[in-house]
Amino acid sequence: MAVKPVTGNPIPAGDARSVAETTRAVVNAFLAARLAGDTEQIAALFADEVDWLLAPNPAVPWIRPRSTAAECAAQSAELAAHTVPEDARASVDTFLVDGTDAVLMGHLSGTVRATGKSFAGPFALRLTVEDGRVTRHHLYENSLSIAEACTS
Residue 83 placed within a domain: yes
Residue 92 counted as domain residue: yes
CB atoms within 10 A of CB 110: 22
CB 134 within 8 A of CB 29: no
The reported pTM is: 0.85
Decide if 5 is inside a domain.
no
Q: Does some domain include residue 36? A: yes
Is 140 part of any domain?
Answer: yes
- For the chain, the domain total comes to 1
CATH number at residue 101: 3.10.450.50
Q: What value does the mean pLDDT of the chain take? A: 90
Instruction: Tell me, yes or no, whether 1 lies in a domain.
Output: no
Average pLDDT on 110-136 reads 97
Range of the domain at 58: 15-150
**What average pLDDT does this structure show over 45-61?**
93
Residue 9 belongs to a domain: no
Q: Kindly state the average pLDDT of the residues 127-141.
A: 97
- Phi and psi at 126, nearest 5°, equal -105, 120
Task: Assign 3-state DSSP to the chain and report helix, strand, coil percentages, each to 5.
Answer: 35, 35, 30
Radius of gyration of the chain (CA): 17
Q: What is the pLDDT of residues 70-100, one digit of tens each?
A: 999 999 899 999 999 999 999 999 999 999 9
